[in-house]
Amino acid sequence: MRSLVVLLLLARVASADAPHTVALAPLSTLGAEASGAASKKLTADLEGALGAVAGTKVVTASSVGDAIKKAKKPHLKACDGDAGCLAEVGKLAGADAIVYGEVGGLGDVQIVYLELIDVPTGKVARSTTLQLGAPAGAGQGEDTQGGARGAAVRLLAPEKFLGHLAVTVDTTGATIYVDGKRVGKSPAPPVELAVGTHALRVTHPEYRDYVRFVDVAYADKPTDVQVGLQQFPIVERDLESTEGGATRVEYVHYVGAPTPWYRRWYVIAAFGAVVAVGTGIAVDAASSGPGADHERTINPPPQ
């Protein structure tokens, strides 16, 4: 019995967060109903986007207009964004919620202000904007936000307004952080994130940190970031081995880099031999075998 009550409560919460039937009111421009080919296309795009949200049934704008005519309430054709008036329109359409859109803008750029009105309460539940067209050099613009589909998700299911970030690093074993949180080591699979700007940081002990801000888009494919790490000019690492019960230390530095004083020939001469090898040198300590230290010089990577 208790389980049944819990399921009923969850169903009520789910229905409140994601309306089952949503009506789209006829779009308006400066208080007048919008018309023309562009308006019809925008209306069709919004209807398709709302219907693509899981569990949502859409009452089209034309059906809403027919319901108003049938009820012989012409004053409902010009609600001008009034939530109470729109809720009444939603009731005529048999919807749980109704979406109202006001189109404005200048030149080639149009901004559509959208509101989701809860029909039973007559209050605005959520609002968002949709940009149509973008001036040259404006960046990703609409693509980042997902257009009409992204706007529908932001209205009906904002918790699902997510994107994916794929970070490809040219070095294996680099640690990847997003917004200060460790998400994995390269190579790493794409990570799911809220759409918007995030701070990316990639670190590796032998390379300089890679830090930048990344805009994660609402799209079918992940936002891809290619990371090329820059190696430090001097790399020195200790390689320890238990072979023979001794510890072997290997010093690695680049050609042209200053040699530490404790590794210079006149310091080591009393303890070992110096042998010139090609463009580099190899220095062996006085003791030979698995526990002996070793130094080698390598050419630096191209800049």
Asked whether the beta carbons of 17 and 69 are under 8 A apart, the reply is no
- What CA–CA distance (Å, rounded) separates 158 from 115? 13
- If we measure between CA atoms, which residue out of 247, 302, 257, 249 comes closest to residue 281? 257
Predicted TM-score of the model (pTM): 0.66
pLDDT in tens, 10-47: 344 344 454 589 999 998 886 556 667 888 899 999 99
Predicted local distance difference test score (pLDDT) of residue 251 = 53
- Domains of the chain, each with CATH number or no CATH: 13-160 (3.40.50.10610), 162-227 (2.60.40.1120), 243-298 (no CATH)
Task: Return the structure tokens found at 34.
Answer: 């919008």
Lowest mean pLDDT among 33-37, 256-260, 284-288: 284-288
Per-residue pLDDT at 2 exceeds 90? no
Give the model's confidence band at 276: pLDDT under 50 very low, under 70 low, under 90 confident, else very high. Answer: very low
Q: What is the mean pLDDT of the chain?
A: 77
Predicted local distance difference test score (pLDDT) of residue 3 = 43
Please compute the mean of the pLDDT values over residues 86-91 and round it to a whole number. Answer: 95
pLDDT in tens, 234-247: 655 544 444 555 55
Could you tell me what percent of the chain has a pLDDT over 70?
65
Predicted local distance difference test score (pLDDT) of residue 285 = 40
Please compute the mean of the pLDDT values over residues 163-181 and round it to a whole number. Answer: 96
Lowest mean pLDDT among 49-63, 112-126, 251-265, 271-285: 271-285
Predicted local distance difference test score (pLDDT) of residue 134 = 59
Phi, psi of 297 (to 5 degrees): -110, 130
Give the model's confidence band at 261: pLDDT under 50 very low, under 70 low, under 90 confident, else very high. Answer: low
Asked whether the beta carbons of 161 and 150 are under 8 A apart, the reply is yes
Asked whether the beta carbons of 219 and 244 are under 8 A apart, the reply is no
Predicted local distance difference test score (pLDDT) of residue 6 = 32
Per-residue pLDDT at 273 exceeds 50? no
- If we measure between CA atoms, which residue out of 201, 227, 215, 229 comes closest to residue 164? 215
Q: H/E/C letters for each residue in 128-157?
A: EEEEECCCCCCCCCHHHHCHHHHHHHHHHC
44, amino acid identity: A
Considering only residues 223 and 302, tell me which one the structure prediction assigns the higher pLDDT.
Answer: 223
pLDDT in tens, 192-234: 999 999 999 999 999 999 999 999 999 989 999 999 999 887 6
